[in-house]
Amino acid sequence: MIILIFITLKKMYKYSMASLTKAEMLSWLKTEDRSELEKLYEKAYAVKLANTGKVVHFRGIIEFSNVCSKNCYYCGIRKDNKNVKRYSMEAKNILKAAKFALEAGYGSVVLQSGERADKVFVALIEKLLKDLNAMSSGKLGITLSLGEQSEATYKKWFAAGAKRYLLRIETSNPGLYAKLHPGDHEFGARLACLKLLKKTGYQVGTGVMIGLPFQTCEDLADDLAFFKKNDIDMLGMGPYIPHAETPLNAYAGNFDKKKNLRLGLTMIALARLSMPDINIAATTALQALDPKGRELGLLAGANIIMPNLTPTEYRAGYKLYDNKPCLDENAEMCLHCLEKRITALDEKIGYNSEGTSKHYLKRTKSGRVLKIPASKIDSKISI
């Protein structure tokens, strides 16, 4: 028994201390050897188990508007795509979708939309946050994914009850960033926003697209170093997938589905090894490349899934990339499908828990913890 405990502790120590040099990361990103990669994913999964447990947390995502003031070259809902029918959900319907999440025990939601920074929008979100918190008595962790905003806006939304923010840097290479965006979209401005978010007190999430045109394995290894250097709490990265009505689609001829899936999984595994206690999402874009993409993401070290709560009637209008899955499903169908997929992996779902990033808790020692009756807490869920 004592020997067993010693071996387990030694393993946990080894896994939690796992740190890879840039050269090692690069070599993993370049390898196509499936059996070697399987070993890497297994190791990352063991690190996930040792650090965040055998539990997957849900973040119900509500894509409440596709109105966007920006023109990112890769994105299907960019302002200049005139083929998109624009929508903005009414506040009461956003609240209804969030209520579904609360009642299903998701513990947290993500509010995502195209980018708007006008006064009407800022006030609308502020009011929505207050209503959401009142509706859930503060029991729903709220993540915003609403792009670049001023410090005043970030502060206003934080005060109104948003405690997490997801803002992908898209790529940590400023030169590549410039190739993917028009001249008025600045890498420095996006980076400054990430710093403001942390200063305001948010749990900060970022991420990149993987397999972009012009992107090299060196860029991806630098992205991993960027996450670590910026001491992030959450990671939501996923494969790049072309959208036919975007400027970047001119390079779609080079799009390699298998490669982007492999790189997506390898990035998750390497991120888990270098940042054992952060929350890492297995994003929907993985599933667009492989029906089991999200499960594979979990097995490579991710611990978060973002079930889609967007009402079915709006889903087709929120196509950031082509072949986005589950467009004809509703929130209930997504839940049942995910429950099946996750229990098939022998993982538990962290119901009724906000699933706060352990890294954030350690970083601040004051993370909000949802109080729930002991009877409803799975003994393996530590948050």
Binding stretches for ligand SF4 (CB under 6 A): 68, 70, 72, 75, 77-78, 114-115, 147
Cβ atoms of residues 129 and 91 within 8 Å: no
Residue 260 near ligand SAH by CB under 6 A: no
Residue 164 near ligand SAH by CB under 6 A: no
Q: What is each CA distance from 255 to 260, 261, 263, 313, in whole angstroms?
A: 8, 11, 13, 29
Cβ atoms of residues 212 and 171 within 8 Å: yes
By CB under 6 A, the count of residues binding ligand SAH is 18
The closest of 273, 257, 264, 232 to 359, measured between CA atoms, is 232
Residue 234 near ligand SAH by CB under 6 A: no
Give the number of other CB atoms < 10 A from CB of residue 262.
21
Distance CA 45, CA 52 (A): 10
Cβ atoms of residues 132 and 98 within 8 Å: yes
How far, in whole angstroms, is CA 378 from its chain's centroid? 24
CB 157 to ligand SF4: min, Å: 17
Q: Which amino acid is at 250?
A: A
CB 150 to ligand SF4: min, Å: 16
Cβ atoms of residues 88 and 314 within 8 Å: no
- What residue 78 binds from ligand SF4, ligand SAH, none (CB within 5 to 8 A, per partner kind)? ligand SF4
Distance CA 229, CA 59 (A): 25
Residue 109 near ligand SAH by CB under 6 A: no
DSSP-assigned beta bridge partners for residue 348: 55
Q: What is each CA distance from 3 to 10, 15, 16, 49, 236, in whole angstroms?
A: 10, 18, 20, 20, 38
CB 336 to ligand SAH: min, Å: 26
Give the number of other CB atoms < 10 A from CB of residue 175.
10
CB 189 to ligand SAH: min, Å: 12
- What residue 263 binds from ligand SAH, ligand SF4, none (CB within 5 to 8 A, per partner kind)? none
Per-position x/- string for 118-157, each x denoting binding to ligand SAH as judged by CB under 6 A, each - no binding: ---------------------------x-x----------
CB 71 to ligand SF4: min, Å: 6
CB 44 to ligand SAH: min, Å: 22
Residues numbered 57 to 76 that lie near ligand SAH (CB under 6 A) are: 74-75
- What residue 167 binds from ligand SAH, ligand SF4, none (CB within 5 to 8 A, per partner kind)? ligand SAH
CB 76 to ligand SAH: min, Å: 6
- What residue 209 binds from ligand SAH, ligand SF4, none (CB within 5 to 8 A, per partner kind)? ligand SAH
| Token code pair at residue 319 | 């196509």
Residue 241 near ligand SAH by CB under 6 A: yes
The nearer residue to ligand SAH, 39 or 258, going by C-beta atoms, is 258
Q: Roughly what angle, to the nearest 10 degrees, separates helices 119-136 and 151-159?
A: 20
Place of tokens 């009142």: 134
Pairing outcome for strands 60-65 and 108-113: parallel
Residue 282 near ligand SAH by CB under 6 A: no
- What residue 168 binds from ligand SF4, ligand SAH, none (CB within 5 to 8 A, per partner kind)? ligand SAH
- What residue 261 binds from ligand SF4, ligand SAH, none (CB within 5 to 8 A, per partner kind)? none
